[in-house]
Amino acid sequence: MRLLLLACLRAQTGNATTAGRIQDHLEAVGHKCSLKDAFGYENPSEIANLISAEKFEAALAIHLYKGGRLLQGSRIPFGIIFGGTDINEDIKHEEKHRVMGAVLEEARFAVAFTKKMKELAAAEWPGARSKIYIQTQGIMTTPSASFNWKRFLQNAGIPQDTDNLCLFLLICGLRRVKDPLYLVDAFSEWHRREPHIHLVIIGPAVDPLFTSEVNEKVNRAPGVHLLQEIPQNDLHAAVKRCFAVVNSSISEGMSAAILEAMDLDVPVLARNIPGNAAIIKHKDTGLLFTDPQEFVHLSKSLMNDPSLEREIVTQAKAYVKKHHSWECEREAYQNFVLRLQ
């Protein structure tokens, strides 16, 4: 089939990574899958023209509102993949809620990353329950063998002669829902007492205005550093060299950065929100914090207890292997698109 896949394709973001992975799954069995950036289209009529021009036979969209609304009234069958923003944010807005319900009604199927996400959606649109399937994200990490750690530290502005360097990595697109500034004050205060502790925030400037705010704040915060996105295999290599990966988002669907850290044998400390708690069991597969002070307390506990670190890393690796198989995800999406024939 000639398939259209609509997603928000900002470079090095979770959406773009997920879309690329799904494209690879579908092309592996002979489909022609064309990725298009949902932000490049204003309304369904533009997508209708695209479908006609490129002779697409079916479509998929990531995000019920951002992508799915563009497929409303489509002359071809389509499926939808929920994003975290759908259930956590867009559902609160009356017009977006109405549009999402209409999209779900037209869709042949919908995919939720977690059982909780499915239940929340089914509570809002009961008639769609039978067409919502659960498929977790599949994870495959590919650390670069040629990654230059010294250059990474240099670009971050971290002195390379720092004794016993302890680096925390916060991976996110710079937008408010990811709340990258949440831990900055507490972390900077900790760094003043223990100068070998550093936090690097790394990711693309998704929201230019907010990025300026982040830059200004980080420039005044000792021990906190900001880096633009880097290729995924280099990012995976950087993760392997850091002490822990941090997530401070206000809301999440399913954080690929968390799952990738787990797969790379690196501990995760994440804000205790539903999307994170769905994949992290506290003190088993990671650590969940409710405020910046608890983050610092838990981080120190982890640093001072090697046995806890080993247990978390081991359990997290086993969890990813069992529940986030790349091979299982591939098979699932190859089967999902059969519903579009």
C-beta separation of 324 from 136 below 8 A? yes
Tell me, what's the pLDDT at 16? 79
R_g of the chain, CA atoms, integer Å: 21
- Based on the fold, state whether residues 315 and 182 are members of the same structural domain: yes
Span 223-227, mean pLDDT?
Answer: 97
Contact 320, 303 (CB under 8 A): no
- Shared domain for 199 and 81, answered yes or no, is no
**Pair 309, 297 in one domain:** yes
**115 with 237, same domain?**
no
Separation of alpha carbons 46 and 291, rounded Å:
45
> Are the CB atoms for 59 and 74 separated by under 8 Å?
yes
Assess if residue 108 is contained within a domain.
yes
Residue 144 in any domain: the answer is no
Within a 13 Å sphere around the CA of 299, how many CA atoms are in the beta-carbon half? 28
**Residues 117 and 253 occupy one common structural domain:** no
pLDDT at residue 67 greater than cutoff 60: yes
Question: What is the predicted pLDDT for the residue at 114?
Answer: 87
Q: What is the mean pLDDT of residues 311-330?
A: 96
Q: What does the alpha-carbon distance between residue 54 and residue 129 come to, in Å, rounded to a whole number? A: 32
| Residue 209 maps to a domain | yes
Do 164 and 289 fall into the same domain?
Answer: yes
Same domain, 298 and 173: yes
pLDDT the model gives residue 11:
55
**For 26-35, 85-94, 243-252, which range has the lowest pLDDT when averaged over its residues?**
85-94
Per-residue model confidence as pLDDT tens digits over 143-177: 999 999 999 999 999 987 777 899 999 999 899 99
Our count of domains for the chain comes to 2
CATH number, position 101:
3.40.50.2000
pLDDT of residue 10: 67
What is the extent of the structural domain holding 88?
Answer: 2-138+325-340
The answer to whether residue 143 sits within a structural domain is no
In a domain, 102, yes or no: yes
